[in-house]
Amino acid sequence: MIAFVLRRLFQALLVMLAVGMVAFALFRYVGDPIESMAAEDDTAEFRQELAERLGLDDPAIVQFGRYILNCLRGDLGISYRNKRPVAELIADRLPATLELVLCASIVALVIGIPLGVYTGLHRNTVTSEVLQAVSLFGISMPTFLTGIILILIFSVFLNVLPSFGRGEVVDLGWWTTGFLTVSGLKALILPSITLGLFQMTLLMRLVRTEMLEVLRTDYIKFARARGLTDRSINFGHALKNTLVPVITVAGMKLGSLIAFAIITETVFQWPGMGFLFIQAVHNVDIPVMGAYLMMIALIFVIINLIVDLLYYAVDPRLRIDRAVAGGYTS
């Protein structure tokens, strides 16, 4: 177990180092940092001084080391455009994105899994055929189009829900939340559905396929032969065994929710990290791009790590296999 965790941690560290290298190369070699930071009329001496202060004359490896150290200390550089520390910008935007992602994953899990179980258990009814068709529609629909259609229906035609922004937010010092005001909650509805819909249909289809496969296995037949109730078979035996792939996919998709938040945030002008990133891409604001990249990489690495560990907790077979394999090799 410990060897497994350590190996995973080492891999995660390697990934982070590689991403850090990309972010550093971005900052150092794409465009000219001095040119982007200095004003038009700054003197040559000032530029020289700036270069010295940033240490741009040192060997690349020294600069890279310093960059990583700075990142670890939470200093992610200064945005070219806003002239504000990037860490501050991201901290401002983080709550908006995380609240949106949280609501979207709740939408996806709470609706997706039950629908998947239902269509898996009653595969030949009209309802599940319709649900299957709708879900296929759902995965073919690009996120931004879902958002636009929802805005068209609920904001333009019916005029009941806001189409942009977070509404009123309450400032809790280091965190701003939209959960505490009516307008904040109303503003969350459309973006969460938009972001969650794709993952919801994906989860539903996954749970359905897994249920179908598990229901065909011998131990389910055996459980039936033992005379267990349908309820206990379906939920105690079948659903439990579909959970391994579902956890993997749900975990991985949590990461892509954060990435797809870029699109949802653009459609709804949601003041989160994704919107910040898109603006950075438009303005070629390299420090913000690099910092966002590392932030996302960190989130992904952590999620993957947790998913791997959850495997362990959920599937006892893995534990035995590894223990046996570990016993022989070491």
Partner 1 sequence: MTAIAQDLWGGIRRFLDGDIVYSFRQSKVAVIAALVTFIMISSAICAPLLSTHNPFDPTTYNLIDAEYPPFWMEDGDPRFILGTDNQGRDMLSAILYGSRVSMAVGFFSILFAMAVGIPIGLISGYVGGTLDAVLMRIADVQLSFPAILIALLIDGLARGILPGELREGLAIYVMIFAIGISHWVLFARTVRGSCMVEKNKEYVQAARIMGRHPFFIMLRHILPNIMGPVLVIATINFALAVLTEATLSFLGVGVPPTEPSLGTLIRIGNDFLFSGLWWITIFPGAVLVILTLSVNLLGDWLRDALNPKLR
Which residues of the shown chain bind partner 1 in the complex (CB under 8 A)? 15, 18, 26, 30-31, 136-137, 139-145, 148-149, 151-152, 156, 163, 252, 255-256, 259-260, 262-263, 266-267, 277-278, 280-282, 284, 286, 289, 293, 296-297, 300-301, 304
For residue 144, the minimal CB distance to partner 1 (Å) is: 5
Distance CA 63, CA 24 (A): 9
To the nearest whole angstrom, how small is the minimum distance from the Cβ of residue 178 to partner 1? 23
Residue listed under structure tokens 């009329």:
41
Q: Are 207 and 242 in contact (CB under 8 A)?
A: yes
Residue closer to partner 1 by CB (options 150, 223) is 150
At closest approach, how far in Å is the CB of 148 from partner 1? Answer: 6
Q: Tell me how far, at minimum, the Cβ of 316 lies from partner 1, in Å.
A: 25
Beta carbon nearer to partner 1, 111 or 278: 278
Q: Quick check: helix, strand or coil at residue 272?
A: coil
- Identity of the residue, 143 or 176, whose beta carbon is nearer to partner 1 in the bound complex: 143
User: In whole angstroms, how large is the CA radius of gyration of the chain?
Assistant: 25
Q: Dihedral sign for Cα 35, 36, 42, 43, please.
A: negative
Q: How far is the CB of 21 from partner 1 (least distance, A)?
A: 12
Assigned token pair, 197: 């819909």
- At closest approach, how far in Å is the CB of 118 from partner 1? 20
Listed in sequence order, the residues at least 6 apart from 65 whose beta carbon sits closer than 8 Å to its beta carbon are none
> How far, CA to CA in Å, does 264 sit from each of 158, 190, 198, 298?
21, 10, 12, 21
CB 235 within 8 A of CB 65: no
Q: What is the DSSP letter of 157?
A: I
With respect to partner 1, which residue has the nearer C-beta, 3 or 149? 149
Q: How far is the CB of 58 from partner 1 (least distance, A)?
A: 22
Kindly tell me which of 169 and 204 has the beta carbon lying closer to partner 1. Answer: 204
Distance CA 269, CA 194 (A): 13
Comparison of 26 and 220: residue with beta carbon closer to partner 1: 26
Closest CA to 119 of 103, 130, 109: 130
- Please say which residue, 17 or 106, places its beta carbon nearer to partner 1: 17
